[in-house]
Structure 1
């Protein structure tokens, strides 16, 4: 039986989180709104305000809860994490306050899974403590997220690996202490064994940030935090590989599923906030002699948003439940894959529709930067590309269901009424007599 009920003790934690995020994390959003401010370890004023908040989170036992107990975390499971992420999604600063900011969460997971004791001590420990930030450097300018098109390579020379090539959209590289870089180490191997993953400290000679690219919703087009990087014969020791040679694809996949589910539930959180703003506006503003909420088109926007949000929230919770069942051994490995894809596809549409309707209801105020809606709306497409292109997941989902589909036996579909009626009369020839 699928059960999303919350025990009283955990509900107390959720209640504390809800109040804390609204009062403290959303205040951080207002005090330090600069692009990427939450990731900058050298932003002294912001860090001074951030540290006490992180200590409060740690005191509640809510710090970096994305890791399971076998990886050193509390082991809440994905359903509880989904409910937590719904609250965290209200605020851009909240993930950093709670030690669950991407890409650090996924990077921490793969360091915990594949890192050597020395790698964990040097990189995972400070990352989990919130002392440093990291970067996942995978996609490339010419190939996007398609590993079959990757050209950035690493060759072995003596006791070092030499990395050569370019990477695109390496988020937070300018703030990071280290990069996780995927590079081709055997171009002739099959796709899933062609690449390896490396830990590359950002002070390594040869790392060149060509540009820090801004995206829709950012305030400063010349100061984004998604780097276009060139690796100019960057040398790292042999012990800076994560996993074995050729396991880069395997290592990368280990970090993506949980990230997609967390992004999905954080989308629920920000969309709930947009819906709350829409409702407030509808009972606060008059037009044509009536409150906005008395107009049927506004009511339709509100109703459609409520339904879409509830549908998506239930999809994400079911997906989280499926992941927990797989982790517990009650369902086979891969049982949640299709539902993870559904969440990935659905989140961008939900974000676009709900935030867009809230913006419309606010009119000119909605598109101004006096409200957060325009920035949110501008940045919604980023979610369509985070953790892989949405269209890829649409295709994978369709192919998964097409594999299960069975062709019709004859000329007409199985639901062809004349054919089925003839078969029914053949079984019961006297059924219509008298």
Structure 2
């Protein structure tokens, strides 16, 4: 079940919570901007530590309550369900710790906004480096696919579907290892189907885009892994279009083709790997979570696996971690934080000054923060009374990760 905001109405013991405020941080650069808010590079005034601060406007969140939400049997209002989805990102982040997932330190709110204070990942978006290099070699793409896969498999084991995998949500740290960020569309589930449309169409599975709305499972994340890998190798996603309908038409254009065409320069191993992930039929798509690692399969599972391999099928039945594209990589070592902290990835970002955020898009980092802040002050003043009426909806949003966690990961 998705983490409920109702559980959060039990306000923590104030003596145990070090409540932060936006005034505790000095804004340095704008790192990014989306439909729901902004991400800023900020410095904590008391200790000079750098963080990424995600700011979300409460008014925008409440407006979104008019949009389609998850199909579920509930008497809760659309507004309450939308607030729950907002709490979900905070609730998911505070429960997970993985070397390839961004760390979450604080959350708090004021009259107008919600704030998430996160680990600053200075290497910038994978998308930024992909644009600079045009495309990656198979060796580099396989390395980052491995690290993405570690994060996605970890989330699935925790009962979390990510739902928004794309190069913009994959960051590189100072050593060139990949960090997954932005859990705004993630959802905690058991085995039930999901129904809401969300994500970025170019990287979304066809069953998620379909107007038939028959539902989808965590398999959509593995389809998106295939899309990101395809993008790394070719500099574009497998299907492009101006809207979801057009992309879905391209996916289903040829009934006999279950996956996209692959460039001639890709190796047979890479084409084989991509065909398993990008199978448009979710029932035939590579069941990665089940076929994750041959070493931990039972004798019964291996026996069934051998029988399936003998017959011809469009369904991929090989084990994921043992695929040949990963033959030069050590999964066991790369899955450990200590190893990642002491080694470098294939692309090491150039960082001369952390305060410059030089691996982020200049479209954002060159923006004048004073202009942004002054505009927001004017907007906030006009919405203040309305937001006071909704203040109780966001009660319990504040969070502090604790001293030991902060000491391990603060930059």
TM-score, with normalisation over the residues of structure 2? 0.24
Q: Give the number of the structure whose residues are more often helix, by fraction.
A: 1
TM-score, with normalisation over the residues of structure 1? 0.23
